[in-house]
């Protein structure tokens, strides 16, 4: 499975635009619905049966513009892979609504808690090893606080799990993060 297909998708339904050069030097803008986003691309549904070039720019309502190339097509659905590779954390945040970001934080928190419990650490023990307060660990596990990437990397190392598993792995049972 390619990295693009394996990337965790965050379901969204929002309007956007696809822009591309029509071959004559003119830029064509086609409205679309952005259905899913991930760190490596987006799945979009065209609002018309318009032709779209192999390389295009996906314009999010936040103003974020991402260069894409067509990874696959199926009627009006297009899978677009980000031309510059993986989207940064700031770009991914701009691609998701506040509710989607909250669900994502909740999922990360649930995976951190599950990994911590599997390794037998208390919140206080993990907090001590991270040089943070136990209250901060509790907030992270409840999905109430953002955790910087360097701390997620440290947690992954301490709990002997992959960073990908913490950020995008399966959500433990009983947690509604999707």
Question: What's the number of CA atoms in the CB half-sphere (13 Å) around residue 88?
Answer: 6
pLDDT at 79: 92
- d(CA 42, CA 51) in angstroms, rounded, equals 18
Model pLDDT, residue 4 = 40
Cα atoms in the Cβ-side hemisphere of radius 13 Å centred on 137: 22
For residue 98, what are its two tokens? 């506040």
Query: pLDDT tens, 36-89?
Result: 887 788 889 997 777 889 999 999 888 889 999 999 999 889 999 999 877 877
Distance CA 8, CA 6 (A): 6
Report CA Rg, the chain.
19
- Which of these, 14, 10, 11, 18, lies nearest to 59 by C-alpha position? 18
Give pLDDT tens digits for 84-129.
Answer: 877 877 787 777 777 777 887 898 899 999 999 999 999 999 999 9
DSSP secondary structure string, the chain?
Answer: --HHHHSPPEEEEEEEEEEEE-SSS-EEEEEEEEEEE-SSEEEEEESS-----SEEEEEETTS-EEEEEEEEEETTEEEEEETTSSPPHHHHHHHS-HHHHHHHHHHHHHHHHHHHHHHT--HHHHHHHHTS-HHHHHHHHTT-S---HHHHHHHHHHHT--HHHHHHSPPPTT----
Q: Give dist(CA 171, CA 28) in Å, integer.
A: 40
Residue 141 has pLDDT above 90, yes or no: yes
Residue with more model confidence, 48 or 138: 138
Q: What is the token pair recorded at 40?
A: 């490596």
């Amino acid at each position: 499975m390619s990295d693009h297909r394996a990337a965790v998708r965050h379901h969204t339904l929002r309007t956007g635009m696809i822009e591309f050069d029509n071959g004559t030097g003119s830029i064509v803008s086609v409205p679309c619905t952005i259905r899913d986003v991930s760190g490596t691309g987006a799945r979009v549904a065209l609002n018309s049966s318009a032709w779209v070039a192999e390389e295009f720019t996906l314009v999010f309502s936040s103003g974020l513009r991402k260069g894409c190339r067509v990874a696959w097509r199926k009627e009006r659905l297009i899978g677009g892979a980000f031309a510059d590779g993986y989207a940064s954390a700031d770009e991914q945040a701009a691609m998701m609504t506040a509710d989607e970001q909250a669900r994502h934080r909740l999922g990360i928190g649930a995976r951190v808690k599950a990994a911590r419990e599997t390794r037998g650490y208390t919140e206080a023990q993990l907090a001590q090893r991270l040089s943070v307060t136990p209250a901060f660990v509790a907030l992270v596990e409840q999905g109430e606080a953002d955790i910087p990437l360097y701390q997620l990397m440290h947690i992954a190392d301490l709990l002997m799990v992959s960073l990908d598993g913490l950020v995008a792995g399966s959500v433990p049972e009983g947690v509604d993060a999707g």
